[in-house]
Amino acid sequence: MSSHRLLAPGPFLASQLNSKDPYELSNGHPIFCLPTGRRGSTRNLVGGSALETDPKVTSAGIDLGVSTAPGMLRAPDVAVGPIEDEPGWATKAPPLVVEYADVGQDEGELRLKIAELIEGGTRFVWVVRLQGEPRVEVHEADKRMRIAREGDILTAPGVLQNPVPVAVLYDRDAAHEATLRNLLQRKGYPGLEAVGEEGVKRGRVEGREEGRKEGREEGREEGREEGREEGRKQGREEGREEGREEGREEGREEGREDLKDSISAILLARGIDPAPIRDAILLQRDRAILKRWLCAAAVVAHAEELVAEGSAS
């Protein structure tokens, strides 16, 4: 395939191709598309998940068919929407796309694909280079291509809310961390620590109220037995101490319950039914295990995988 667009239109139209046909189109000419290799397929999944869960993103897709002209059909590895929930090709180019390039990449065809997507309306094209030192080529309309390396930050104003560390697009752990942060933000939490802090704060308030109530009751009982004045004094002291202790315990318990609720909420937000592992979640009291389950909830495909993966040390 030539690296330059053929001037004479080819005989094919995007409307003639069906989903899963192994072709893209450039100016009506077919381009045979081979399956993705092992390394590229895993990076597609984790990088796409981290972008799709960004709080500003309404939809994203893998291998989305984009046809902004009758003879053009392109399928970027990751497309960040908006994408209409309807059958057929997308007639508007997604504002952000990600391409993963590995060994054997046809560079001429890749350049042509980038050009056609940008001409169609895509604002940002991020090409993740997996061979050699991992890096990302950033392409924008009317701008010179620049290279971002590990440690650099990518942004897509108007498309993504959060900045994207380069490693998020190819490193599984970094992608999981970004995905978890995004999902918590969608639920109103700035981060994982805020979940536990809210439970502790709520427990302190309830613990103080319970402590005051119990202190008054105990004070009245002891006052009747040992004398009103001494009883009030001892009741207040013992009530405060017991209230503090119960408040701390209730705070810890509330924190655990919030973690359990967050695990179920994340699974439900991803369309996964938590019912198969609900008993395991409810009976678990180890906060460290619950935190691991919370992280795993952002990436597992089935609820049963969460307990197995999230419990691993």
What pLDDT score was predicted for residue 5? 56
Q: Taking 60 as the threshold, does the pLDDT of residue 231 lie above it?
A: no
Q: Taking 90 as the threshold, does the pLDDT of residue 299 lie above it?
A: no
Tokens of 161: 């809310």
Mean pLDDT of 235-256: 71
Q: Taking 80 as the threshold, does the pLDDT of residue 246 lie above it?
A: no
Lowest mean pLDDT among 24-38, 63-77, 223-237: 223-237
Nearest to 287 by CA among 305, 268, 270, 262: 262
Domain layout of the chain by residue ranges? 14-170, 192-310
Question: Within a 10 A sphere around the Cβ of 208, how many other Cβ atoms?
Answer: 15
Q: What's the mean pLDDT when you consider all of the chain?
A: 87
Give the three-class secondary structure for 2: coil
What pLDDT score was predicted for residue 137? 98
Confidence of residue 36 (pLDDT cuts 50, 70, 90): confident
Percent of the chain with pLDDT over 70: 89
Instruction: Please tell me which residue, 254 or 175, carries the higher pLDDT value.
Output: 175
Q: Taking 90 as the threshold, does the pLDDT of residue 113 lie above it?
A: yes
Instruction: Please tell me which residue, 68 or 219, carries the higher pLDDT value.
Output: 68
What pLDDT score was predicted for residue 101? 96
What pLDDT score was predicted for residue 230? 74
Confidence of residue 242 (pLDDT cuts 50, 70, 90): confident
- pLDDT single digits (tens) 140-199: 999 999 999 999 999 999 999 999 999 999 999 999 999 999 999 999 988 777 776 776
* Entry pTM: 0.64
What pLDDT score was predicted for residue 312? 42
What pLDDT score was predicted for residue 247? 61
What pLDDT score was predicted for residue 243? 62
Beta-sheet strands, E only, within the chain: 23-26, 29-32, 60-62, 66-69, 72-74, 78-80, 96-101, 124-129, 135-140, 146-149, 153-154, 164-165
- Distance CA(123)–CA(130), nearest Å, equals 23
Pairing relation of β-strands 96-101 and 124-129? parallel
Q: Taking 50 as the threshold, does the pLDDT of residue 310 lie above it?
A: no
- pLDDT single digits (tens) 262-289: 888 888 888 899 999 999 999 988 888 9
How many CA atoms does the CB half-sphere of 297 hold within 13 Å?
A: 31
Instruction: Please tell me which residue, 35 or 148, carries the higher pLDDT value.
Output: 148
CATH superfamily placement of domain 14-170: tt1808, chain A (3.90.1570.10)
- Distance CA(148)–CA(45), nearest Å, equals 20
